[in-house]
Amino acid sequence: MKSWRASSARQGFRASLFLLGLTYQGFGGLSLGFALLAWALGEDTRGFALAALLGLGLGRLFQLLGHPEAEPRRAEVFASVALVWLLVPVLGAVPYWLSGGLSYLDALFESVSGFTTTGATVLADFGRFGESLLLWRGFTQWMGGVGIVVLFLVIFPQLQVAGRQAFFAESTGVEKERLTPKLRQTGLAVLKVYLLLTLAAFLAYGLSGIPWFEALANALATAPAGGFSPNPLSFAAYSPLAQWLAVGFMFLAGVNFLLQYRFLFGGEVRPLLKDAEFRAYTGVVLLFGSLLAFYLYTHHLYGLEESLRHAFFQVVSVLTTTGFASVDFAAWVVPAQAVLVFLMFLGGSAGSAAGGIKLVRWLLLVGLLRREVTRTLHPKAVLPLRLGSRVIPEEAMRQVAVFIFLYTVLFGLGALALALLEGDFVVAFTASAQAIGNIGPGLGEVGPMGSYAGLAPLSKLILIFLMWAGRLEILPVALLFSPELWRRLR
Amino acid sequence: MKSWRASSARQGFRASLFLLGLTYQGFGGLSLGFALLAWALGEDTRGFALAALLGLGLGRLFQLLGHPEAEPRRAEVFASVALVWLLVPVLGAVPYWLSGGLSYLDALFESVSGFTTTGATVLADFGRFGESLLLWRGFTQWMGGVGIVVLFLVIFPQLQVAGRQAFFAESTGVEKERLTPKLRQTGLAVLKVYLLLTLAAFLAYGLSGIPWFEALANALATAPAGGFSPNPLSFAAYSPLAQWLAVGFMFLAGVNFLLQYRFLFGGEVRPLLKDAEFRAYTGVVLLFGSLLAFYLYTHHLYGLEESLRHAFFQVVSVLTTTGFASVDFAAWVVPAQAVLVFLMFLGGSAGSAAGGIKLVRWLLLVGLLRREVTRTLHPKAVLPLRLGSRVIPEEAMRQVAVFIFLYTVLFGLGALALALLEGDFVVAFTASAQAIGNIGPGLGEVGPMGSYAGLAPLSKLILIFLMWAGRLEILPVALLFSPELWRRLR
Ligand SMILES: [K+]
Ligand SMILES: [K+]
């Protein structure tokens, strides 16, 4: 028994090494492409060349040492995913480091921020980076976004971990069919929407007057709710039209991709309009957007159109965890900033690349709390928990509660540590909140026009950890720190 | 069926009116005593006289309109308790209003802050209040503390609401015997410890050189973890010896009273030393006290003894939700303040009058989260949740989770509303945290040497709500807002 377990665990480890090997080779190939691009643009090729060499070399080595196992156990898959999501950015940091003139820690911060679609930057001086590096930044976000939707809509549901990921599929209406045979189609559907969204944003941005190179980099950062802009002023550098277009595309990036697929390719409007999360999402945008616009307008900060534009831009940007800015909102008065800080804790929709807690979880939590009150009135009643017309299994509910707890506790510990290190409550609070929610900008020094460059090295490591843990919804990372998992490998 | 329910609900309502009538008459009698005291001291008697008149008159009226029902249903008891805990402070505010020169809203704030053992004050000018009013302030805290321990250790366990309150009894080792027949003894035991603690603090404070009147008022505010001091400088006005004594008495006020009873009157040391919550409590005090002392000393803020004293005083004061201060910690640098802000979210021990989330709940939550990781490794294992050697029922666990959620959500909404109203993140965050945790001081303008006088009226109402909801652990207050409860009365 003991030896079977150990051998199975070792097989799991070799499977994850194999997976890492394949991923590294893919990124090696991509880096090679970027090396050629940098060469064509007359920019520094060394970073991409080394990344290509390491990616292809180490990738091949890991592939040979590893083993393609048919059915690794779920705990090992979780831990492997967590490991890969850290080791790919480790490689992806090389170009920033060698060609961008950043320290390796700063390069790693920028790389993790990219692959986790966070968009928090240590770049204070954008002139340092050539176009190839700015495009690489956008591309890491785009690839990170692909990774996340595939992970949460295709890979995790196969593991059917205690209702956790199955719940995401459920909330998109996929549960009526059997899951596994449809997963490939699910993956393809999501990718179609993702590509379409990217392409549409690219064209719209370009046609609205954004220089085509910047339009591309911004589009790559829009679809995954990423927020890395090639322009140091983010969308504050562009026209009102471009800003309104971004509001629309960010909004779409925060909507469940499967529901969008059924709408776009199947003409089904009702599943979207009847979806509880989509309704809540639209409601939150309208409510907080109007509230903020009203405040900005009545306090004479902007004219009417400008109040509406900046309010809805910032509300959609923070709610979807994109993190673009149409104005330096860190310079707003506290009440206007407070609205954005509050939205940091809501998050976009499940089934998109948005980060954070996500609205569907809040809906379920509110349902749970209401049921608790009812239970006091009717102690013996059996009270199933519903979302729309769907009954939510208790198991899924428990997972939602555990996730929100882990999220809140990690956020709190992160904020404490950053307050101790940085000596600034607002920076500490918002940096921790944005990192675990994969949002990007905070307030104060780390606001949308600021950067994370000035933080202490330990603060940067803490933020790297929070971005990583938040993006994977914590459990896979927590597993990696479980002594028992490592005991199995012995 | 319908009519039975309605009549039963109405009976429950009349029972709560009866209870309110008795409580009002008790407070009327107390006010009469204070009116005599004020008269003897040559101070303004009008406030106490009117409170006595209203208490005795309305109390008698409510008693006559009400009905002493043997077994009201639990939902009605919960709602009644919530109502009484609001209507008693409404009466208790009269002396501050008539004799203390406060607006009625400010008087209500001070009164709610007293009865909920919060200790947040709107008093900017202490000279306004005579000794009778300052003693009244301390007395409301002392009575509020009695009310809370009786409520959570005697009344709520009789309702056996879905494991919620039974859990508190459990965590004190009472579960081995049958609950109900022992409840009277439990109540008496707790009151003995409470009286002894008050008396010991009074004598020790007085002997350490604190003027005897102030020693009494401070002792009345120590046992319930209240924090109202008759001195505007709180314990910063007293000698180092008095401060160290307060550290000891605040520490005891944060320990489960039943465990203290078994130790003091039964000579049982082991139940205390083996109690998981007590061990965590001692550990948190030692860890954060040392950490803070080290920081204060190495940053040359104070000498060695002074660093230890101010560190342990503030850590124990905030952790137990007492809220006394030995120094104006709102003037400390951010990292030192951050430690205290973090402690605001932990809370003291269950079975004491301390507020906040309480350590035992955090211990259970950590257990829940660890189990979740283990569950991923062993999907089919049955994993009971333990605290020490005790198995915690899933039902109790669910209640703990629901409580922490409600607490966090209310805190967050409160902080948002206060940020919108006050335009200051630190004031908003700490005022909301201290109010729902019944702590007292926050940071910035509302720090230990500041006051809540300058806040907007709506902010004060929000804080009144948070103090009230936090003190009753939210569920009874949530019930009061449930439309179904009111439908039953029709
Ligand atoms: K982002
Ligand atoms: K207090």
Tens of pLDDT, residue by residue over B168-180, are 444 444 443 344 5
Residues of A in contact with B9 (CB under 8 A): none
Interface test with A, best of B380, B405, B429 (most A CBs within 10 A): B405
A271 CB-near residues (< 8 Å, 6+ apart): A173, A259, A262, A263
Q: What is the reported pLDDT for B177?
A: 39
Chain B residue with minimal CA distance to A164? Answer: B376
Q: Kindly report the number of other CB atoms within 10 A of residue A442's CB atom.
A: 29
Chain B residue with minimal CA distance to A369? Answer: B402
B326 CB-near residues (< 8 Å, 6+ apart): B234, B235, B236, B243, B246, B309, B310, B313, B314, B317
CA B226 – CA A46 distance, rounded (Å):
65
A299 CB-near residues (< 8 Å, 6+ apart): A333
Our measurement of the distance from residue B218's CA atom to the centroid of its chain's CA atoms, rounded to an integer in Å, reads 16
**Amino acid making up residue B469:** A
Two tokens, residue A195 = 């590509």
Confidence label for B390 from pLDDT (cuts 50, 70 and 90):
confident
Q: Please, what is the Cα angle at B71 between B67 and B75, to 5 degrees? A: 95
The angle, 0 to 180 degrees and rounded to 10, between the axes of the packed helices A334-343 and A425-436 is: 30
Q: What is the distance in A from the centroid of ligand 1 to the CA of A435? A: 9
Strand ranges, E, within B298-451 = 385-387, 390-392
Question: Which residues have beta carbons under 5 A from ligand 1 (an ion)?
Answer: A 119, 227, 321, 323, 440
B62 and B18 Cβ atoms separated by less than 8 Å: yes
Residues of B in contact with A401 (CB under 8 A): 401, 405
Q: What is the reported pLDDT for B1?
A: 36
Cβ contact (<8 Å) for B402 and A372? yes
Residues of B in contact with A340 (CB under 8 A): none
Cα within 13 Å of Cα(A125), Cβ side: 5
Buried b (16+ CB within 10 A) or exposed e, B445-461: bbbbebbbbebeeebbe
Chains A, B: CB contacts within 8 A come to: 131
Q: What is the reported pLDDT for B490?
A: 64
Residues B454/B455/B456/B460 CA torsion (nearest 10 deg): -130
Two tokens, residue B155 = 């009344």
Our measurement of the distance from residue B131's CA atom to the centroid of its chain's CA atoms, rounded to an integer in Å, reads 24
Cβ contact (<8 Å) for A482 and B377? yes
Q: What is the reported pLDDT for A316?
A: 97
B84 and B19 Cβ atoms separated by less than 8 Å: yes
Q: What is the reported pLDDT for A172?
A: 43
Q: What is the DSSP string of B226-280?
A: ----SSTTGGGGS-HHHHHHHHHHHHHHTS-HHHHHHHHHH---HHHHT-HHHHH
CA B247 – CA A355 distance, rounded (Å):
44
Interface test with A, best of B376, B394, B404 (most A CBs within 10 A): B376
Beta strands at A390-392 and B390-392: parallel, antiparallel or unpaired: unpaired
Distance from CA of A147 to the nearest CA of B (A): 22
One pLDDT digit (tens) per residue for chain A, 490 residues: 344 455 566 777 777 788 888 889 999 999 999 999 999 999 989 999 999 999 999 999 988 888 776 566 777 778 888 888 899 999 999 999 998 889 999 999 999 999 999 999 998 888 888 889 999 999 999 999 999 988 888 777 776 543 444 444 444 444 433 445 577 788 888 899 999 999 999 999 999 999 999 999 999 999 999 999 999 999 999 999 999 999 999 999 999 998 999 899 888 888 889 898 999 999 999 999 999 999 999 987 899 999 999 999 999 999 999 999 999 999 999 999 999 999 999 999 988 989 999 999 999 988 888 888 888 777 777 788 888 778 888 778 888 888 999 999 999 999 999 999 999 999 999 999 999 999 999 999 999 999 999 999 999 999 999 999 999 999 888 888 888 777 776 6
- A334, A478, A484: residue with CB nearest B423: A334
A30 vs B71 pLDDT, higher one: A30
Two tokens, residue B42 = 């040559």
In eight-state DSSP terms, residue B393 is: P
What are the φ/ψ torsions at residue A100 (nearest 5 degrees)? Answer: -100, -5
B131 and B156 Cβ atoms separated by less than 8 Å: no
Residues of B in contact with A419 (CB under 8 A): 334-335, 337-338, 341
Most trustworthy range by pLDDT among A344-348, B42-46, B127-131, B314-318: B314-318
Nearest residue to B143 (alpha-carbon basis) of B84, B212, B204, B99: B84
Our measurement of the distance from residue B242's CA atom to the centroid of its chain's CA atoms, rounded to an integer in Å, reads 23
Chain A residue with minimal CA distance to B368? Answer: A402
Residues of A in contact with B429 (CB under 8 A): 425, 429
B59 and B84 Cβ atoms separated by less than 8 Å: no
CA B237 – CA B425 distance, rounded (Å):
29
Confidence label for B396 from pLDDT (cuts 50, 70 and 90):
confident
A185 CB-near residues (< 8 Å, 6+ apart): none
Residues B21/B27/B28/B29 CA torsion (nearest 10 deg): 120
Residues of B in contact with A334 (CB under 8 A): 419, 423-425
